[in-house]
Structure 1
Amino acid sequence: MPVSRRIVIVGNGDIPEGLAGVIDSANMVIRFNLCRSAGRGGFKTDVIAACNTGRPALDMLAGGRWKASETVRQAQEIWCVRTSEVFAAMRGVLAQSHPDLDDFCDDYTIGFETFAEATGRKLGRIPASVHHAVDAALKAYDPTPYVVPSSGLIAIAHVLENVAEQGDRISIAGFGHQGWQWHPFAAERRWVNALIAAGHLDRLDS
């Protein structure tokens, strides 16, 4: 029988003091993009879930600051959170509804793939089915008009659906459910709280 694991998904929001050791002792730690959670939220990083489209992707891949950071150096795997075909299909719609997001769907997956290959890391691509399932699930929580769910929510859904094994404990920290105006954060909070109430994951508070 496989040994159960502790998987911690660490967002970039506020993290209470005293959690660094708990997070660093986990079997798998997942962080996001620039890993602003590192420090108060520990330093161990096994996976970086990266926004692989738009300005966030371009900023990470440009120059060497992100690539040389402590968290990226120790990460064994990089996940491309945004599925290429999903975002390609959104481009025409956003051109009409949100013309200011003209570079939002620009896909830099190849850049992350090249970096992963050059440094001996695994590259994971979160499948389109996860995006579609999250959109469907959010409908039950009356989301305000939004462009896409947050990367944090997509990563949580991916871990629950495709990564976690029976007996694993899934914990989250640093999820304040606030930020970019075109993520449905109020609905996301309700969805996450429902998962916690159902025992599918827990929130690290202290």
Structure 2
Amino acid sequence: MQEQPKIIILGNGPINTDLTEQVNNCPRVVRFNHCAAMPDYLGQRCTDLWLVGRGRQALSLLNTPQMSLEGLSQVMITDPNPNPVAQCFFKLIQRKSKVDFGEALISIYAQKCQVERLTAQFRQSLLNELLTLGSPIHRPRCVSSGTLAIAYFLAQFKYIHIAGFGFQGWKRHPWNLEKQFVEQLVAEKQVILLDS
């Protein structure tokens, strides 16, 4: 029988396995963005919520139902603090994909739990590490939130459990390298798949 995970990271990709018991009994459960619409068989628990801070997706997070704040202990904004001058320029030219909504998201959660932003250094360091694995299909802008979370929590836990990682979506994430990175962590038993 598989041991009860100490931390589960639930990506937003398809998951067909009933994880209710494991998720609801896990001390740390990490979810992303529009996770309030996840099916019931993925449990209800969420202690760590990771949110994109920029662009249309971040704006939509302000205008859609949020996760219940009960049990939530940390919110991570995956975009670093923006450059205020650049933000004025992006708003002026209506470059909606670059406008930062991180502070508005922080204001929703800051009175209930710990809120922080990933640093630019952390994001760039992981991207640099991935680029040593080979060539991306498209020129990448940043690593996906899911892979960032895996790297972040592996610095705190000996191993982690994950589900719902399909390694596809926005073409400016280096999906092929992220998949290779996670597959290596699975082979090293630092990452355990719950939906394999």
TM-score normalised by length of structure 1: 0.78
1:181 is matched with which residue? 171
**CA offsets 1:163-206 (integer angstroms, 9 cap, x no match):** x24xx431110001112222221211111111111222211126
Select which of 103, 122, 146 maps to 2:140: 146
CA contact (8 A) 2:159 2:189 kept: no
Q: Which has the higher contact order (CA 8 A, sep 6+)?
A: 1
Which residues of 2 match residues 1-206 of structure 1 at below 5 A?
A: 6-35=6-35, 36-62=37-63, 65-67=64-66, 69-70=67-68, 72-85=69-82, 88=83, 102-117=95-110, 119-139=111-131, 140-144=133-137, 145-161=139-155, 164-165=156-157, 168-205=158-195
2:7 is paired with a residue whose SS is strand
CA–CA distance in structure 2, aligned partners of residues 7 and 38 of structure 1: 19
Distance 2:146 2:70 in 1: 21
1:28-57 C-alpha deviation (Å, 9 max, x unpaired):
000000104452321110111000111111
In 2 relative to 1, CA 24–141 (structure 1 residues): closer, same or farther, beyond 3 Å?
Answer: farther
- List alignment gaps of at least 5 residues for structure 2: none
Write the letter of the residue equivalent to 1:157: A
Moved over 4 A (4+): none
The alignment yields a C-alpha RMSD, in angstroms, of 2.6
Instruction: Give me the whole-angstrom Cα distance separating, in 2, the residues matched to 1:58 and 1:180.
Output: 17
The one-letter amino acid of 2:21's match is G
Looking at structure 2, the residues matched to 58 and 106 of structure 1 have their Cα atoms a distance apart, in angstroms, of 9
Distance verdict in 2 for CA 1:75–1:38, change over 3 Å: farther
* Amino acid across the alignment from 1:138: L
Given that 1:141 and 1:191 are in contact with CA atoms closer than 8 Å, whether structure 2 keeps it comes out as no
d(CA) in 1 for partners of 2:39, 2:108: 21
Partners of 2:81 and 2:117 within 8 A in 1? no
Secondary structure at 1:104's aligned position in 2? helix
Query: If the length of structure 2 is used for normalisation, what is the TM-score?
Result: 0.82
